[in-house]
Amino acid sequence: MKYDLEVGDPRTVARVINMAHRFQCRATRVDSHSTAELTKAHFEFAGDTAQLERLRAQIDRIVQFEKIFVS
């Protein structure tokens, strides 16, 4: 499963990797680039299909947390 992330908080990358571990999936590739304002990351995960779907939903949820702010 691939996931491209854009968030303000660079620590989200670590949070996602930890979450993958908890869902018994593996982050097989992580590319991340951060500026002061924006972090872009590309993830590739391996694991059980159902668990990967749960992981995707949870990452969506974390990303959603930042969307309550509109500049």
Partner 1 sequence: MIPAISPRPRTGGDAVLEALEREGVDVIFGYPGGTIMPFYDALYGHPMRHILVRHEAGAAFAAGGYARTSGRVGVCCATSGPGATNLVTGLVDAMMDSIPLVAITGQVRTALMGTDGFQEADVCAITQCTTKASLLVTDPAQIYTKVREAFALARSGRPGPVLVDIPTDVLKAPYVPEQSAPRKTRDVRPVASRESIVAAADAIRTAHRPVAIAGGGVRDPKAVAAFREFCALLGLPHTTTICGLGASDPNDVHGLGMLGMHGTKAANLTVHTADVVLAFGMRFDDRVTGRPDRFAKDATIVHCDIDATEFNKIIPTRVPMHGDAGETIKSIVAELKTAHLPRFDDWAVQAKALGGPLPSDDAKDGHLSATDFLDQLVAALPPKSIVCTDVGQHQMWAAQRVKPNTPRDFCTSAGLGSMGFGFPSAIGACFANPGRPVFAIVGDGGFQMTMPELATVKRYQVPVKIVLIDNRNLGMVRQWQELFYDERYSATNLSDNPDFCTIASAYDIESFRISGPEDAPSTLKAFLEYSGPALLHVSCYPDELVWPMIPSGGVVEDLMESKA
Query: What residues line the site for partner 1 (CB under 8 A)?
Result: 9, 11, 14-15, 18-19, 22, 53-54, 57-58, 60-61, 64-65, 67-71
Shortest CB 29 distance to partner 1, Å: 21
CB 22 to partner 1: min, Å: 8
Nearest alpha-carbon partner for 61 in 10, 9, 14, 16 = 16
37 closest CA partner among 70, 17, 67, 9: 9
- In the bound complex, what is the minimum distance in angstroms from residue 61's beta carbon to partner 1? 5
Distances (CA, A) of 37 to 6, 40, 62: 10, 10, 17
